């Protein structure tokens, strides 16, 4: 079973260091995978960190813990948020009842209390894994590879949609566009646009072999601009669409 990934988000470096050092993360099947000194910094790196659990200080510059929670849980609904707050802000924190926060903890926090909360978190995450079955039993790399295979299959069945692009696919699968672009290249050896264009041009060649007019093929493969389609086809096939049709005896 993979370890649960923890992120510490607090503008006080000493608080993050103490949290990292004082908890026996290994005994809880957890590991601290990253830190951030503000909500903005955390949002910028969360796609790479992929935490299961986030400890979030309520009082941070630029983007506070409540604002971070609103953004992060909209993007990652399963993320377990633990809000850390000083006594004078505790009631303010508790009023944010609409937010999917697992627990509110008073600072300075006590190690035994943190461990108790984390044991409850682990119980919830273990139960979620049991429900989801064989797919969370994968480790990180296996899961990413499986997801990339799903994305490839999605492209192969949806390339006829002219609106499909990196951003829309990234949003559908819960990634940032920059993260998907990088991981897709790593996993497939091709960038997203190259793979999408390849799917479209392979289909276009079959349509050309069947004698379809270029404007018809263009529309059918999700490239409504015939001029752009023509340039893509020539680059991929090594000859123009009309030349390809002629070479296949469909003139």
Q: Is there a single domain that holds both residue 60 and residue 145?
A: no
Q: Is there a single domain that holds both residue 149 and residue 166?
A: yes
Maximal CA-CA distance, the chain: 81
Q: Is there a single domain that holds both residue 122 and residue 233?
A: no
- CA 49 and chain centroid, separation: 10
Please report which confidence band the pLDDT of residue 135 belongs to, taking 50, 70 and 90 as the band edges: very low
Q: Is the distance from CB of 217 to CB of 242 less than 8 angstroms?
A: no
Nearest to 157, CA basis, from 167, 169, 145: 169
- pTM > 0.95: no
Peptide bond into 57 cis (omega under 30): no
Domain span holding position 122: 4-135
Q: Is there a single domain that holds both residue 71 and residue 170?
A: no
Q: Is there a single domain that holds both residue 144 and residue 215?
A: yes
The pLDDT tens digits of the residues spanning 214-238 come to: 999 999 999 999 999 999 999 999 9
- End-of-domain residue from the set 102, 118, 135: 135
The pLDDT tens digits of the residues spanning 67-122 come to: 888 888 878 888 999 999 887 776 666 666 567 788 888 888 899 999 999 999 99
Q: Is there a single domain that holds both residue 103 and residue 16?
A: yes
- End-of-domain residue from the set 84, 107, 135: 135
Q: Is there a single domain that holds both residue 146 and residue 178?
A: yes
What is the C-alpha to C-alpha distance for residues 32 and 51, in angstroms, rounded to an integer?
9
Q: Is there a single domain that holds both residue 91 and residue 193?
A: no
Mean pLDDT of 226-251: 88
Q: Is there a single domain that holds both residue 18 and residue 129?
A: yes
Q: Where are the beta strands (DSSP E) in 80-203?
A: 80-85, 101-106
Query: What pLDDT, on a 0 to 100 scale, did the predictor assign at position 95?
Result: 64
More confident call, 131 vs 104 = 104
CATH classification of the domain holding 27: 3.40.50.2300
Q: Is the distance from CB of 242 to CB of 218 less than 8 angstroms?
A: no
CATH classification of the domain holding 168: 1.10.10.60
The pLDDT tens digits of the residues spanning 5-59 come to: 999 999 999 999 999 999 999 999 999 999 999 888 998 889 889 999 999 998 8
Q: How far is CA 128 from CA 78, 92, 93, 125, in A?
A: 9, 30, 26, 5
Structural domain total, the chain: 2
What is the C-alpha to C-alpha distance for residues 79 and 9, in angstroms, rounded to an integer?
14
Q: Is there a single domain that holds both residue 37 and residue 122?
A: yes
What is the C-alpha to C-alpha distance for residues 129 and 131, in angstroms, rounded to an integer?
5
Q: Is there a single domain that holds both residue 99 and residue 163?
A: no
Question: Which of the 8 DSSP states describes residue 163?
Answer: T
Q: Is there a single domain that holds both residue 73 and residue 159?
A: no
- End-of-domain residue from the set 115, 135, 155: 135
More confident call, 93 vs 203 = 203
Query: What pLDDT, on a 0 to 100 scale, did the predictor assign at position 18?
Result: 93
């Amino acid at each position: 079973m993979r370890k649960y990934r923890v992120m510490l988000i607090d503008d006080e470096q000493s608080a993050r260091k103490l949290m990292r050092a004082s908890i026996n993360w290994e005994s809880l099947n957890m590991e601290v995978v990253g830190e951030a000194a503000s909500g903005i910094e955390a949002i910028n790196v969360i796609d790479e960190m992929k935490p299961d659990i986030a400890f979030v200080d309520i009082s941070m510059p630029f983007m506070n813990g409540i604002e971070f929670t609103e953004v992060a849980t909209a993007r990652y609904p399963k993320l377990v948020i633990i809000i850390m707050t000083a006594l004078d802000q505790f009631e303010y924190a508790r009023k944010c009842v609409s937010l999917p926060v697992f627990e509110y903890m008073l600072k300075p926090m006590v190690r035994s209390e943190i461990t108790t909360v984390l044991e409850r978190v682990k119980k919830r995450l273990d139960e979620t894994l049991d429900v989801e079955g064989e797919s969370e039993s994968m480790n990180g790399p296996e899961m990413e590879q499986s997801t990339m295979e799903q994305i490839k299959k999605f492209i192969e069945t949806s390339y006829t949609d002219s609106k499909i692009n990196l951003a829309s696919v990234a949003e559908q699968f819960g990634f940032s566009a920059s993260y998907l672009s990088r991981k897709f290249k790593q996993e497939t050896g091709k960038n997203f646009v190259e793979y999408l264009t390849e799917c479209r041009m392979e289909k276009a060649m079959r349509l050309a072999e069947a004698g379809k007019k270029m404007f018809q093929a263009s529309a059918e493969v999700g490239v409504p601009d015939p001029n752009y389609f023509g340039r893509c086809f020539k680059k991929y096939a090594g000859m123009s669409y009309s030349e390809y049709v002629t070479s296949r005896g469909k003139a």
